[in-house]
Structure 1
Amino acid sequence: MSTHVPVVVIGGGQAGLSVSWYLGRSGIEHLVVEAETAVHAWADKRWDNFTLVTPNWHCRLPGYTYTGPDPDGFMTRDEVVAWLRGWLETFDAPLVEHTTVTRLCRIDGNRFELTLDGPDGADTVTCDQAVIATGGYPLPVIPPFAPALDPGVHQIHSEQYFNPEQLPDGAVLVVGTGQSGTQIAEDLHLAGRQVHLAVGNAPRVARTYRGRDCMTWLADMGLYDTPTQEYPGGRAAQEKTNHYVTGRDGGRDIDLRAFALDGMKLYGMLTDGKDSTLRFAPTLTESLDKADAVYNSICGDIDRYIDARGIDAPPPSRYEPVWTPPEDPAELDLAAAGITSIIWAIGYRPDYRWIEASAFDGAGRPMQTRGITEVPGLSFIGLPWMHTWGSGRFLGIDRDARYVAEHIVASLGENRPRLAAAQ
């Protein structure tokens, strides 16, 4: 490893490696530093029955697209890992794995110094351009009252869940109804476990509507390509949890009301707890109603798109509730309910404390435009809503990476190393 590299990409997942693909194509000397392995997040942080929730045709990376037999299907975890490894075989990325960047700071006014912690110990490297590709929210969130709960109850975060067999016998409480929480609750439910589910404010969407996958309709409607500043609903829409749905068994809706009819126990927002007692806000009815309203609203948007273009499609429909909560439970006794495990599926938070640069807002989020910050030479890739709703997804990574790489090439200017014309 040289002591100075023009560009260092921190993070060797699909986003960071997409920037690397473009830099290599332009002849830019660079280094990609990855704390684990290139496919670690997919291979080691997804449960056994995980599937994509976006159709396979969304899977696009630089120079590489899904070409399998089921473009409208949903790859499993292992299929995604195999697909990514196939992409990695198409180019030679300067990737250093099992090495963590523990500090990034500005030196000499126009260079960055990175402190690396790898298998052979600590090292440093300097660069002119640094690309942060560590993901938008790397730290799992656990509520502050979790340590006060009965120590006999097994607690894990959703990223640590793989299958029902890893949990102690007994009922399971899943907290959170984003994409991970609802799908993990379904996984446990299908395995015959008694599931209790604390319902949050995530919206939901139909899997298929009027003959096509809803996400295919939304792509045709341009929703994944609309710049963030033009997106309907503005910042409020961007702050919402992604709509819950599943690609399991070919894809289907996730209907929490139907789960309740089948024996799953639903509660409102979990507010606090101690020992064996948990308390909930009276939000269950409202949360279910709002999720269904979003579901039907999206269907209405698709209807208007179909009508405006005269598309031949099956007739419209709307979701009608199959179950209504008889009450909003206020408390839950873990011991009395036989709950032996809790899975926290309430998200992640940012952690950029290792970056010494004035590039973050009061909440610790990067201040950037299409990945480019006001700090010369510092950029980001792979953030949710970095440019569009498609940012951070397979569908939008290629475009975002190309933009960031082009900015880097232009910034290096006449001093750029071995620059070749982009093809």
Structure 2
Amino acid sequence: MSYTTTNGTTVQKNDHFPVIIIGAGQAGLSSSYYLKQASVEHLVIEKHQMMNAWKTKRWDSFSLVTPNWQCQLPGHHYEGDDPHGFMVKDEIIGYLKEFEKKVNAPVLTNTSVTKVTAIEPNGYQVDTDKGTFFASQVVVGAGGYHEPIIPRMAERIPSSVYQIHSEEYKNAAQLPKGNVLVVGSGQSGAQIAEDLHLAGRKVFLATGDAPRCARFYRGRDVVDWLADMKYYDMPVSQHPLREGVRDNTNHYVTGRDGGRDIDLRKFAQAGMELFGLMDDFEDNQFKFIPNLSDNLKRADDVYNNINQRIDKYIETNNIDAPEQAHYMSDWEPNAERETLDLTDSGITTVLWCIGFRPNFSWLDAPIFNGNGYPQHERGVTPLNDLFFIGLPWLHTWGSGRFSGIAKDAEYIVKHIENNIETANAKALKSA
């Protein structure tokens, strides 16, 4: 049985490739870009279509939260006329489609990898729903956001209430009429809550411990300041939290309408009702931990701490920048409600925005820690011929984003080239 890839390459079942890449998002295609430059034959296997998550799992009003200049995919940096703006969904998809054309990778789409097995004496067997392939080296570019998290308490919420995860949300019109409980105040939860609020919906928001940051401070985007401060160049090995930073929730901020802060306190002043962490559903009551004040204070402390570090950088380097006062809250919850009655609240939708969990159960290789996370150093696993790319903080803050993926892909491909050279040298020596 033969199959044709997206660039016209014909592959057969049981074919052997020097490299197989799993996943055709920005991570997988960036790896393909450098493998093509190195003239290393390879195959990319994608479960759906290329860049599937960007094309199908973003809401309609979605925009980047980092400025356009940080779109630095290999050979495809942003070249538009608004480098400090924020591309919206259709513009992002257009940018990525152009990248797909430039790379022209050999992608086998709509093909599910069911198992990857390390085989002796070396190499890998890659089983798919279209047959088995073999590879000397494997790059896993399937990301780390595989299974949407919905807690077991959701099973007790009546079937009359529509439940949806953030990855399925498109717009307010998609939801049944009535009020909405958004669970989670991270980057997606905060932005979706705002989207619903702007659409005229009554929103209840169950907050968590997500931090926040300013959009603009002292005359510039905070991202610009942090870039100058080399924050985005810091490897995970030098971060104060070390590998623990990989578990951090992203700061909430938005690029919508040219970019602005997200301030949950202002949401409350505008009519959104805020709660602490959602804890349970029982007897027709949503139950919350009374930690709303703590959650808000923690987010504001992070916000001001980042700004203070920028202040110090400005002072140390004698930079001429306008003064700006630190954030001071002007709203506090009078009392924290610990319950919310489903019927009385008029809630018809619960929208879960509490993230994803990784699932690498299909990868049979002894490289995982007790939490099911792959052990690696800058994407290189202890097996030395199995690699990961595109994971959050794989190496730096930008590893899972458009800004840092190129450097990670280039590093991994150089490692792959070295492995090939070593194998060839051994073969010549034994000949």
Aligned to 2:118: 106
1:249/1:129 Cα in 2 relative to 1: closer, same or farther (>3 Å)? Answer: same
Q: In structure 1, what is the equivalent of residue 94 of structure 2? A: 82
Q: 1:91 Cα shift?
A: 2.8
Q: Which runs of 5+ in 2 are unaligned?
A: 1-10, 426-431
In structure 2, the residue matched to 1:57 is 69
- The structure 2 residue matched to 1:169, chosen from 158, 174, 177, is 177
Q: Counterparts of 1:21 and 1:240 in 2: how far apart (Å)?
A: 30
SS of residue in 1 equivalent to 2:345: coil
Q: Aligned-pair distance for 1:414? A: 5.4
SS of the residue 1:271 aligns to:
strand
Q: Which amino acid aligns with 2:21?
A: V
Q: Does 1:272 align with 2:280?
A: yes
What letter matches 2:37 in structure 1? R
Provide, for residues 339-385 of structure 1, a one-character-per-residue CA deviation record: whole Å limited to 9, x for no partner: 00010000000100000011111010110100000023111000101
Deviations 1:134-155 (A, max 9, x none): 0012111000110111111000
CA drift of 1:106 comes to 1.6
1:323 pairs with 2:335: no
Distance 1:17 1:239 in 2: 25
Normalising by structure 1, what TM-score? 0.96
User: SS in structure 1 opposite 2:152?
Assistant: coil
Task: Give the equivalent residue in structure 1 for 2:311.
Answer: 303
Q: Which moved more, 1:370-379 or 1:232-241?
A: 232-241
Aligned to 2:229: 221
Tell me the residue number matched to 2:291.
Answer: 283
Q: TM-score, normalised by structure 2?
A: 0.94
Query: Which residue of 320, 341, 346 corresponds with 1:338?
Result: 346
Pairwise mapping of residues 255-270 of structure 1 onto structure 2 (< 5 A)?
255-270=263-278
One-letter amino acid of the counterpart of residue 336, structure 1: D
Task: Give the equivalent residue in structure 1 for 2:163.
Answer: 155
Q: CA deviation at 1:233?
A: 3.5
Equivalent position amino acid for 1:273 in 2: F
Given that 1:141 and 1:347 are in contact with CA atoms closer than 8 Å, whether structure 2 keeps it comes out as yes
Structure 2 counterpart of 1:384: 392
Is residue 403 of structure 1 aligned with residue 411 of structure 2?
A: yes
**Residue number in structure 2 paired with 1:420:** none
User: C-alpha separation between the residues in 2 aligned to 1:94 and 1:165?
Assistant: 39
The whole-number CA distance in structure 2 between the counterparts of 1:34 and 1:410 is: 26
Per-residue CA deviations over 1:37-67 (Å, capped at 9, x if unaligned) read 1121111000000000000000011111001
Match of 1:240 in 2: 248
In the TM superposition, what is the alpha-carbon distance from 1:77 to its structure 2 partner?
1.0
Q: Which moved more, 1:230-239 or 1:101-110?
A: 230-239
Conservation of the 8 A alpha-carbon contact between 2:236 and 2:245? no
Tell me, yes or no, if the aligned pair for 1:149 and 1:275 is still in contact at 8 Å.
no
Q: Are the aligned partners of 1:303 and 1:316 in contact in 2 as well (CA < 8 Å)? A: no
Say whether residues 1:144 and 2:156 are aligned partners.
no
Aligned residue among 339, 342, 356 for 2:364: 356
Corresponding residue for residue 367 of structure 1: 375
Q: How far 1:176 sits from its partner (Å)?
A: 0.3
Given that 1:28 and 1:416 are in contact with CA atoms closer than 8 Å, whether structure 2 keeps it comes out as no
- CA deviations on 1:172-211 (whole Å, 9 max, x unpaired) are 0000011000000000000000000000000000000000
Deviates more, 1:86-95 or 1:167-176: 86-95
C-alpha distance in 2, partners of 1:328/1:375? 51
Matched, 1:10 2:22: yes
Give the AA of the match of 1:343: L
C-alpha RMSD over aligned residues: 1.2
- Matched residue count: 413
> Tell me, which stretches of 5 or more residues in structure 1 are unaligned?
418-423
Match of 1:130 among 121, 128, 138: 138
1:368 is aligned with what amino acid? Answer: H
Check conservation: 1:150, 1:274, Cα contact below 8 A: no
Deviating runs (4+, > 6 A) in structure 1?
none
Match of 2:42?
A: 30
